[in-house]
Structure 1
Amino acid sequence: MAIDKTNAARLLDKAKIRYELIPYEVDESDLSAIHVAEQLKEPVERVFKTLVLKGDKSGYFVCVIPGAEELDLKKAAKISGNKKCEMIPMKELLPTTGYIRGACSPIGMKKHFPTYIHETCNDFDRIYVSAGKRGLQLYLNTQELIEEVGATVGHLIL
């Protein structure tokens, strides 16, 4: 079965970054990264979720964290140079990023936002992130992802 390439995949092609597009079964009632990891039969620590936040100074920014973890807003604010920050309201996600909930990729948002990836990404040569469409993950080299999105690696979780 042919898999339609997403915008994120096309951008990786353009940057000559190798990746795999891995389909999984979507459960509309459970869009969690834990469900995705179960579907992929991979440890959830390797499946990263993409969260979009708004800081009081920087405006929008992106945090990419292990799927089962919870973002520490104080750490996210500190690393991004904000006093405080919050998750953006769901209704702002599509107009801001071009992506919907459960399919937000750190690659290929409408605009480039500062991006921060939790340090455990370095425990793996390759990690999973959303390909920008529900039911599809990108499996790619961690360092190449960091370079492609210009990410800062740091401690982001509780």
Structure 2
Amino acid sequence: MAKEKEIKTNAMRILDRQKIKYEVLQYECDEFIDGLHTAEKTGAPVEQSFKTLVAQGKSKQYYVLVLPIAEEVDLKKAAKAVGEKSIEMIHVKDITAVSGYVRGGCSPIGMKKQYPTVIQECAAQFDKVYVSGGRIGTTLCMAPEDLKKVSRAEYADFIQ
């Protein structure tokens, strides 16, 4: 009997290419659930689980914000962190067009384009962080420094 081949997401292929160690956690899920439910399903610690949001600045530039699942973005702080006068979250209907990912499966790794990315600075204190793997039902676990490197991100404080 043939071994079932794991279907890699774009995020996983990029991590493999850059020889970055990561763990894959799969969970059963048919539609979008929030990060808290995802952490519950995978057993990932809530404080180490991060969501990926996409915002757009006044300049029309897109930005990727990676923050703890239980926190909210402070748009003023986020704008300052990316060097914009102001930013706002993109509309849910635009997520796939902008990122290449679906809502609930948006990974900071391997979007359609390399957008400026900011990771909430508290991530640096953990040995591992959990982010979406690029599709609903897939979470990736890796060192925060590896996430920062592969997503070409900076650390900043932008939560409420």
- Residue 24 of structure 1 aligns with which residue? 27
- Residue 78 of structure 2 aligns with which residue? 76
Compare the two structures and name the one with the higher strand fraction.
1
Describe the superposition over 1:11-40 as per-residue Cα deviations: whole angstroms up to 9, x where unpaired.
000011011111013263x61110011112
Q: Report deviation, 1:89.
A: 0.8
Query: Which runs of structure 1 show a deviation greater than 6 angstroms over 4 or more consecutive aligned residues?
Result: none
Q: Partner amino acid for 2:150?
A: E
**More divergent stretch after superposition (143-152 vs 99-108):** 143-152
When normalised by structure 1's length, the TM-score is 0.95
Cα distance in 2, alignment partners of residues 86 and 113 from structure 1: 15
- Residue 147 of structure 1 aligns with which residue? 149
Q: Which runs of 5+ in 2 are unaligned?
A: none
- Shift in alpha-carbon separation, 1:27–1:123, aligned structure 2, 3 A: farther
- 1:1-158 residue pairs with structure 2 within 5 A? 2-26=5-29, 28=31, 31-57=33-59, 59-158=61-160
Q: Secondary structure at the match of 1:75?
A: helix
Q: Partner amino acid for 2:14?
A: L
Cα distance in 2, alignment partners of residues 58 and 122 from structure 1: 29
How many residues get paired?
A: 157
Q: Which runs of 5+ in 1 are unaligned?
A: none
